[in-house]
Amino acid sequence: MRWTDALVALVIACLAAYLAVQPLPRDLEGAAYDLLLRARQEVYGQSTHPRPPGGSPVVVVALDRETALRPPFDRLPQELWTPQIAAVMDRVLAGGALIVAQHETFATSGALLREGYDADYLAVLASAGKEGRIVLGRRAPAPERLGPLPGYVEAVGGDRNLRRIALHADGDGVLRRAALYESSRDSTGTVSLNPSLALELAARVIGERPHLLNGDSLMLGRYAVPGSDDNAMLLNFQGGDGGIPMFSLGDLHACAEDGDETFFRKHFDNRVVLFGRSDVPRIRKVTAARFLNVHNADRAAARCRLPAMQSLVRADDGATTPEVVVTATAVRNLLQRDAVKTLPLYAAALVSGLLAMAAALAVLRVSAVLALPAIPVLLAAWSYLAVVMLAHENWLMPLAQPFSAIAIAIVAAWSYRGARRLYPRLRSA
């Protein structure tokens, strides 16, 4: 190999690596991750992580359309479902649930129309709040009138049982990450953490408070949470049933009225239970699971009393996911320690540069007959490695950045090769 070819390939690789870590290729990594999730599902099946003994550690009780069509919920807005929610929450807690959360707490109440309407609901909040077994979700920042009703906050025990939902979409509008905390610094310079709803639920199950290590990495017990440096944990969505069983509130209410303690003990013992809306369009988000085609019907858990309404099966859009399920996925990732890890920027640049150099050398030193099929083989090999690493190690290997670097390297190397043919001085170098 002529030394000039090696030098030119090195220069091209450095240029390609620099361009590959610019904003546009970096932004494309989000879409590449979504496609990798689908590729992992195709290669390894619906779910790459077997459920722990006893089933999923996190389940959802859905305030769904099916519930809204059944008495006594029909013709009532969801804000007036508090007596029924209280009955189900009480049974769930008695059935051994570790902790219960209402994902988005109501901002209004039937008590404004009829005194004592929320008495049962307030009693459950107060009892479970004292035990530290309930957390109310809130959106932030938000005007107070859009947050939880002050009476609910007071009943549950104030801010110690109130946590931010903290789900934020990427620049392309797709929800892939969950924030872990809000931080504040007092007058002495001490930094304190206000965990997000997902982190708070996981911390209470584990029994250890999260803390920052060296000022950036967040530790939950012995688990260094990936993405905590940027306060954005990349969620590990699963295919098949999505990994999160979903119960219908209407069915559970009928079950509670019949006093079926066995069903609640079987399905909620030793679990985190999130109550949340599932069918309202504004709370259904496009997520990284958009290509996994998971519907609410796929997540449907065992029924207790009422059969599923077949007219509503598959009625939802599999390209969107309820926010409560996204939060439940974040809790599951924290408990099972399978959140997705990503390479730092310098490592992505190094990988992109090495692959770009290999592509440049192939163009400069190998005949076109061999170089043309070699490049697709290189891309396919790297893609398969990315699928394997995601499936077995929960590592997200960059795709858009290396592919951009390889494309830049091929164009630059072909340009240099053509120029070398045209100018004798370059040919003799």
Report which of 80, 105, 86, 320 is spatially closest to residue 197, judged by C-alpha positions: 105
**Same domain, yes or no: 328 and 360:** no
For the entire predicted model, the pTM comes to 0.91
Amino acid at 20: A
Examine the pLDDT at 425 and tell me if it is beyond 60.
Answer: no
Identify the pLDDT of residue 97. 97
**Same domain, yes or no: 134 and 236:** yes
**Same domain, yes or no: 23 and 96:** no
**Same domain, yes or no: 316 and 303:** yes
**Same domain, yes or no: 288 and 409:** no
**Same domain, yes or no: 293 and 392:** no
Collapsing DSSP to helix, strand or coil, 149 comes out as coil
pLDDT band at 391 (very low <50, low <70, confident <90, very high): very high
Examine the pLDDT at 50 and tell me if it is beyond 70.
Answer: no
Q: What percent of the chain has pLDDT over 90?
A: 63
Report which of 105, 102, 122, 120 is spatially closest to residue 60, judged by C-alpha positions: 102
The tens digit of pLDDT for each residue in 73-94 reads: 998 899 999 999 999 999 999 9
Supply 77's token pair: 């807005």
**Same domain, yes or no: 412 and 311:** no
- CA–CA separation, 406 vs 328, rounded Å? 38
Identify the pLDDT of residue 145. 56
Domain boundary (336, 358, 386) is at 336
The tens digit of pLDDT for each residue in 278-331 reads: 988 889 999 999 999 888 888 888 899 999 887 776 656 678 999 999 999 999
Identify the pLDDT of residue 282. 87
Collapsing DSSP to helix, strand or coil, 340 comes out as strand
**Same domain, yes or no: 57 and 205:** yes
**Same domain, yes or no: 230 and 130:** yes
- CA–CA separation, 154 vs 89, rounded Å? 18
Collapsing DSSP to helix, strand or coil, 279 comes out as coil
The residue with tokens 């609901």 is: 121
Rounded mean pLDDT, 339-347 = 93
Domain that holds residue 417: 3-43+341-428
Examine the pLDDT at 107 and tell me if it is beyond 80.
Answer: yes
Report which of 62, 93, 86 is spatially closest to residue 248, judged by C-alpha positions: 62
Task: Find out whether 329 and 236 touch, Cβ atoms under 8 Å.
Answer: yes
Amino acid at 31: A
**Same domain, yes or no: 210 and 70:** yes
**Same domain, yes or no: 297 and 374:** no
Collapsing DSSP to helix, strand or coil, 238 comes out as coil
Domain boundary (336, 368, 402) is at 336
Domain boundary (280, 306, 336) is at 336
- CA–CA separation, 344 vs 53, rounded Å? 34
Report which of 363, 329, 271, 273 is spatially closest to residue 53, judged by C-alpha positions: 271
**Same domain, yes or no: 278 and 303:** yes
Work out how many domains the chain is built from and give that number: 2
